[in-house]
Each structure stands twice: as structure tokens, then as C-alpha cells.
Amino acid sequence: MRKPFIAGNWKLNLLTEPAMNLAGELKNRLRGVDQVEIAVAPVFTALSAVSKVLAGSNLGLSAQDLYWEDAGAFTGEVGPAMLKDVGCKYVIIGHSERRQFFHETDESVNKKVKASLKSGLIPICCVGELLPEREAGKTLSVIERQVKGALAGISKAEVPPLVIAYEPVWAIGTGKVATPEQAQEVHQFIRKQLALIYDPTLADSIRIQYGGSVKPDNIKDLMKMPDLDGALVGGASLKAETFVGIIKAIG
Ligand code: PGA
């Protein structure tokens, strides 16, 4: 009942033309795939151009971040209304790179998740522990804090479109993928948290992606896990061959 969802996080890569080319190739090669929901997240400056390429396709457009206000004196920021204006359906929030390098906190993640839900953008809210936190046995307490923080003050009526991405920071861009069992343990825990905050039925309907060194050759085993509903893909989403390979491996 939870449709698998694969999203490509292009991070700070690809100028407008290569971004349009990749989007065009994905659109052609993934035509007709409807058993998997698919999205790509280019940089802000390529959103508009990629949106035009993807028009009428089965690929959705995602931003990599947003600010929680629609307009005003907030130099350098981009709000929900602007993302919708260029055709975004999704927005990635609280990626570990933003938490680590750009001072994103549980509070700012919460404001962003609220703003995206209010505007009708689907938030892909990222959580995940650092290697020292895992080694210290703190994984689940870190995840609990991040999930509760992200969802503070968000009602049962507002939350359904939400997607959560569990991305252990030690697995991102390292080639060191979590084992299916390690991922499942945390995914199950996140679903339990959702059941405690909301209710078990709602928790059962929310998709939880895994992220961190996902490749065509490891996605199948990850997807066998009952609480794993797709992936947020970084490096392997920058090449049509590998991104299509991931989707075709499960579709
Ligand atoms: P990776 O990145 O697939 O390159 O590990 C995942 C992510 O940061 O979302």
C-alpha cells in the first residue's frame, strides 16, 4: 500500500544544460514506469529549466531546501511559493549536509517541514546519526530527537504527505551502505515513533526512504525490508545508467 519512492538528490552538481540533458534522458528511459514514484532534485538555478524538460512525464521535481517564508527581507532565501511557481512537487529538508555545514537545527527543520506541508509541497525530511553517535550506541535516541523535533506541532491532519529519509551520515557518499538489517532496525523505530506521535494506521501509510550509498546492486536487498519504502540517492543519481538501474531493479 506504500508506493516505493526513489528520489535523486543532485546536490551541488550539474549546470543548467547537463541538468536538462540528464532529466531528458531519465524521462525517456523511465517512460511508462508507474509502479515506482520518481523525483529528481537539481540545484535551485536549474529547477525552472528541468521543470520544462520533465513536463508531462512521470518524474516529479524536488528542491533541495527551502525557507519557511514566502516573501520578505530574507536575502538569499527561496520560499515555498517560489518552488511551487517553478513546478516543484517535493522539497528535501534537513539533509545531513545542511545540518553539518549550514547550521540546520531540529527547530529550523521543523519550521521548514511545517511551511512545506502548508504550501502543498511534499517534504522529504532527512534524519540520521553520525558515526560516533552510532558507535556510542546513541543511534535510536538521535533519531527519536530528530523525528520528534521535525514533527513538533504538526497535526495528524497535516502530516500524511510527509516522506522521511533515514540517512546514516556514515553511509552518505562513502560507498559504505548500511546493511538491510541496520536500515530496517531504524526504519521500524521511526515508524514506531510515528505511531506514538500520531497513530499506527497513519504510521503505516508514511513512506520511509533509505539513503546512503544506494546503488543498482544493493537496492534490491534493502527493499526486501518491510519498513523500507524507497531511497534518496546521491552519487548514483547523477548518471542515468545508475539511477535508472536502481529504479528498474525494484520496478
Ligand atoms: P549518496 O548520498 O547516495 O551519494 O551516499 C545520499 C544522500 O546524501 O542523499
Encode pLDDT of 135-156 as tens digits.
Answer: 999 999 999 999 999 999 999 9
* CB contact at 8 A, 92 and 132: no
Distance 17 CA to ligand 1 centre (A): 22
The whole domain housing 50 covers: 5-250
- How confident is the model at residue 163, as a pLDDT? 98
Q: For the chain, give the number of residues.
A: 251
Residues with CB under 6 A from ligand 1: 9, 167, 172-173, 211-214, 232-236
- How confident is the model at residue 68, as a pLDDT? 98
- How confident is the model at residue 219, as a pLDDT? 98
Q: How many domains does the chain have?
A: 1
Is 167 catalytic? The answer is yes
* CB contact at 8 A, 236 and 218: no
> Residue 63: beta bridge partners?
91
Is 103 catalytic? The answer is no
Closest CA to 188 of 211, 212, 164, 171: 164
Nearest CA to ligand 1 atom 7: 234
> Residue 6: beta bridge partners?
38, 231
Q: What are phi and psi of 6, to 5 degrees?
A: -115, 125
Distance 26 CA to ligand 1 centre (A): 18
Ligand 1 atom with least separation from CA of 97: 8
Encode pLDDT of 73-120 as tens digits.
Answer: 999 999 999 999 999 999 999 999 999 999 999 999 999 999 999 999
Which CATH number fits the domain that encloses residue 27?
Answer: 3.20.20.70
* CB contact at 8 A, 59 and 40: yes
* Rounded distance between C-alpha atoms, residue 237 and residue 41, angstroms: 10
- How confident is the model at residue 224, as a pLDDT? 97
Closest CA to 41 of 21, 57, 23: 23
* CB contact at 8 A, 126 and 96: yes
Q: Which of 37, 95, 129, 187 is catalytic?
A: 95
User: Looking only at Cα atoms, what is the longest distance across the chain?
Assistant: 48
Please report which residue ranges of the chain form alpha helices under DSSP H. Answer: 16-29, 44-54, 80-85, 96-101, 106-119, 131-135, 139-151, 180-197, 200-205, 219-223, 240-250
Query: Which segments in the chain show pLDDT lower than 70?
Result: none
- How confident is the model at residue 1, as a pLDDT? 85
- How confident is the model at residue 2, as a pLDDT? 97
What DSSP string runs through 129-198? --HHHHHTT-HHHHHHHHHHHHHTT--TTT-TT-EEEE--GGGTTTS-PPPHHHHHHHHHHHHHHHHHHS
Distance 33 CA to ligand 1 centre (A): 23
Ligand 1 atom with least separation from CA of 174: 5
Distance 172 CA to ligand 1 centre (A): 5
